[in-house]
């Protein structure tokens, strides 16, 4: 009766019952799976999931290897006060707590026969260690600077002062410090999947996983495979349509009509929940919706950053040449035949072993690195990596990898990268990730909704954010129709 009265009095209230409405979910990544699961938890079954690929998971992309999986996408869980952590714990795939700085602080710096002074490495680490805390402090306590600074602009000032104190503003020692600075750059670019010259300090202030600062939870060799398999198992096969890529969402009429890339039209939907990545929307949003999305939404899509933090897995025929340790390579300009640093070589700042795959090394790339590396063939990439490894280990017998296992995120227009970040331009425009969660209305009625990590107000960039956003949009519809 209360709902009926509201429907009579308020034209903007959506009045259909849950038995009358039909929902389309675009994408079967973490957000899409979460949305569908939330509907089923509440006994709502009148939905369809449309997936462009022949697999589910989206940016959660496990690849089987031996008795485990290489996680090309999500690997860590951010925070322990959320339902995704609880689910991972129930499935038994949470393995350990890992500090965000771990891949750097635990690493052994290798520079081969280059005459690097270990004292300079120690001096740089002493300089660099407090910077993350300093930038967090500025982000939290100096609102003006949090909007006007990027991580790189902060670092550039600190670094110039450090070089002056070290009397190393030029020459070989400057080259050593420049190379070491790449490791710090890599930390911020790995963590935020960002190019650090674009990364606003607002990314630090606005992000909160409600957990301990500076740590994440690692998953085991099954990891996110178990999570997405569990979520997928709850959804009837008849509800998920693979190889159904959406070209257009027409919400101009009383019911929304989807057009696939092959021209097929599927209609009759009251609500559409779009879980596409920010990267995909950047490329297609202006032609994907009829009528076009509101300008405020398009501006948010344009300004929110989409970056890449990617992993490359290298299988070697023999690993007797190295110890079981994380290695930070230190290629130095002016040393070992390098007049300047190779623009590809400088992107590789971490090589780490995989405990359950002893013949495999994993290396991370982020920032500008993924686009550079994605443009290389496997043979070209192998040549760069082998030369770097031979130089830093002073060992010309290191073999080439027999297999390179990677995902070219920047080349796939369904993703356009791995996850979103807060750009300087976004901060200057006063745009929040939460702006992406605002539904699009037609004639006063909600018609198009958005979910995915790039739409979460607090824990964007993560599977946790994607998971929570899917539940949020399902609840939005359930609240309107109950």
Regarding whether 206 and 238 lie in a shared domain, the answer is: no
Pairing between β-strand 215-219 and β-strand 94-99 as defined by DSSP bridges: antiparallel
CB 213 within 8 A of CB 191: no
Tokens of 252: 């101009």
Regarding whether 323 and 203 lie in a shared domain, the answer is: yes
φ/ψ of 313, rounded to 5, equals: -105, 130
Measured over the CA atoms of residue 394, residue 179, residue 423 and residue 132, the dihedral's sign is positive
- Asked whether residue 354 is domain-assigned, the answer is yes
Q: What is the pLDDT of residue 8?
A: 38
Regarding whether 174 and 111 lie in a shared domain, the answer is: yes
- Asked whether residue 417 is domain-assigned, the answer is no
Domain harbouring 19, CATH code: 3.50.50.60
In whole angstroms, what is the distance from residue 181 CA to residue 168 CA?
Answer: 14
277-324, pLDDT tens digit by residue? Answer: 999 999 999 999 999 999 999 999 999 999 999 999 999 999 999 888
In whole angstroms, what is the distance from residue 269 CA to residue 260 CA?
Answer: 15
> Shortest CA distance to 361 belongs to which of 334, 336, 393, 337?
393
In whole angstroms, what is the distance from residue 321 CA to residue 244 CA?
Answer: 47
Please, what's the b/e burial string for 432-443 (b: 16 or more CB within 10 A of its CB; e: otherwise)? bbebbbebbeee
Regarding whether 317 and 301 lie in a shared domain, the answer is: no
- Asked whether residue 22 is domain-assigned, the answer is yes
- Asked whether residue 421 is domain-assigned, the answer is no
Regarding whether 127 and 185 lie in a shared domain, the answer is: yes
CB neighbour class for 239 (10 Å; exposed up to 12, middle 13-18, buried from 19): middle
- Asked whether residue 95 is domain-assigned, the answer is no
Task: Kindly report the number of other CB atoms within 10 A of residue 98's CB atom.
Answer: 15
365-400, pLDDT tens digit by residue? Answer: 999 999 999 999 999 999 999 999 999 999 999 999
Regarding whether 245 and 106 lie in a shared domain, the answer is: no
Last residue of a domain, one of 389, 409, 429: 409
Regarding whether 314 and 297 lie in a shared domain, the answer is: no
Q: What is the pLDDT of residue 463?
A: 96
> Shortest CA distance to 363 belongs to which of 353, 372, 374?
353
Task: Kindly report the number of other CB atoms within 10 A of residue 466's CB atom.
Answer: 33
Regarding whether 321 and 294 lie in a shared domain, the answer is: no
Regarding whether 106 and 144 lie in a shared domain, the answer is: yes
Last residue of a domain, one of 390, 409, 428: 409
In whole angstroms, what is the distance from residue 322 CA to residue 368 CA?
Answer: 28
CB 370 within 8 A of CB 308: yes
Q: What is the pTM of this model?
A: 0.93
Domain of 292, in residue numbers: 2-60+224-306+438-481
Domain harbouring 384, CATH code: 3.90.660.10
> Shortest CA distance to 24 belongs to which of 276, 366, 270?
270
- Asked whether residue 466 is domain-assigned, the answer is yes
Per-residue pLDDT of the chain (482 residues; tens, 9 = 90+): 444 444 434 334 445 555 689 999 999 999 999 999 999 999 999 999 999 999 999 999 999 999 999 999 988 998 889 999 999 999 999 998 876 655 566 789 999 999 999 999 999 999 999 999 999 999 999 999 999 999 999 999 999 999 999 999 999 999 999 999 999 999 999 999 999 999 999 999 999 888 776 678 999 999 999 999 999 999 999 999 999 999 999 999 999 999 999 999 999 999 999 999 999 999 999 999 999 999 999 999 999 999 999 999 999 999 999 888 899 999 999 999 999 999 999 999 999 999 999 999 999 999 999 999 999 999 999 999 999 999 999 999 999 999 999 999 999 999 999 999 999 999 999 999 999 999 999 999 999 999 999 999 999 999 999 999 999 999 999 999 87
Tally DSSP H helices, then E strands, for the chain. Answer: 17, 23
Average pLDDT, rounded, for the chain: 93
Regarding whether 158 and 125 lie in a shared domain, the answer is: yes
Regarding whether 291 and 259 lie in a shared domain, the answer is: yes
Q: What is the pLDDT of residue 10?
A: 39
- Asked whether residue 116 is domain-assigned, the answer is yes
Q: What is the pLDDT of residue 211?
A: 75
> Could you tell me the CA-to-CA distances from 174 to 105, 125, 186, 287 in Å, in that order?
22, 15, 19, 49
Regarding whether 125 and 198 lie in a shared domain, the answer is: yes
Query: How many domains is the chain built from?
Result: 2
- Asked whether residue 70 is domain-assigned, the answer is no
What angle do the packed helices 224-233 and 30-41 form, to 10 degrees? 40
In whole angstroms, what is the distance from residue 445 CA to residue 443 CA?
Answer: 6
Last residue of a domain, one of 391, 409, 427: 409
């Amino acid at each position: 009766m209360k709902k009926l009265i509201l429907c009579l009095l308020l034209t903007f209230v959506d009045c259909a019952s849950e038995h009358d409405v039909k929902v389309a979910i675009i994408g079967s990544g973490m957000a899409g799976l979460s949305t569908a699961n939330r509907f089923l938890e509440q006994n709502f079954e009148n939905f369809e999931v449309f997936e462009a690929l022949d697999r589910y998971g989206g940016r959660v992309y496990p690849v089987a290897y031996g008795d485990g999986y290489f996680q090309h996408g999500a690997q860590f869980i951010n925070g322990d006060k959320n339902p995704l952590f609880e689910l991972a714990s129930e499935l038994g795939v949470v393995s350990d707590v890992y500090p965000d700085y771990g891949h750097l602080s635990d690493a052994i710096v290798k520079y081969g026969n280059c005459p690097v002074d270990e004292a300079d490495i120690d001096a740089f680490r002493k300089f660099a260690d407090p910077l993350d805390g300093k930038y967090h402090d500025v982000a939290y306590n100096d609102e003006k600077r949090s909007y006007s600074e990027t991580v790189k602009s902060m670092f550039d000032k600190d670094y110039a002062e450090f070089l002056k104190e070290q009397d190393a503003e030029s020459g070989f020692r400057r080259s050593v410090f420049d190379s070491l600075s790449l490791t710090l750059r890599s930390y911020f670019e790995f963590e935020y999947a960002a190019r650090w010259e674009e990364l606003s300090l607002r990314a630090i202030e606005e992000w909160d996983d409600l957990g301990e600062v500076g740590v994440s939870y690692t998953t085991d060799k099954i990891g996110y495979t178990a999570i997405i398999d569990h979520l997928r198992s709850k959804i009837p096969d008849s509800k998920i349509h693979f190889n159904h890529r959406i070209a257009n969402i027409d919400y101009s009429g009383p019911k929304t009509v989807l057009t696939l890339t092959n021209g097929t039209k599927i209609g009759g939907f009251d609500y559409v929940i779009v879980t596409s990545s920010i990267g995909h929307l950047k490329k297609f949003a202006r032609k994907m919706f009829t009528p076009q999305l509101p300008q405020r939404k398009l501006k948010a899509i344009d300004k929110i950053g989409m970056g890449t933090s990617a992993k490359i897995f290298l299988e070697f025929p023999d690993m007797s040449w190295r110890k079981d340790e994380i290695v930070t390579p230190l290629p130095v300009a002016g040393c070992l035949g390098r007049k300047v640093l190779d623009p590809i070589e400088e992107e590789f700042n971490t090589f780490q072993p995989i405990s359950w795959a002893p013949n495999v090394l994993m290396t991370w790339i982020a920032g500008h690195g993924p686009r550079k590396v994605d443009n290389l063939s496997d043979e070209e990439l192998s040549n760069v990596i082998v030369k770097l490894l031979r130089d830093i280990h002073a060992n010309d017998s290191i073999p080439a990898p027999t297999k390179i296992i990677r995902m070219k995120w920047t080349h796939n227009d369904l993703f356009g990268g791995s996850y979103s970040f807060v750009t300087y331009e976004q901060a200057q425009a006063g745009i929040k990730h939460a702006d992406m969660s605002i539904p699009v209305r037609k004639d006063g009625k909600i018609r198009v909704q958005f979910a995915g990590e790039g739409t979460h107000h607090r824990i964007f960039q993560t599977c946790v954010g994607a998971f929570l956003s899917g539940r949020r949009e399902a609840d939005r519809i359930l609240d309107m129709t109950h």
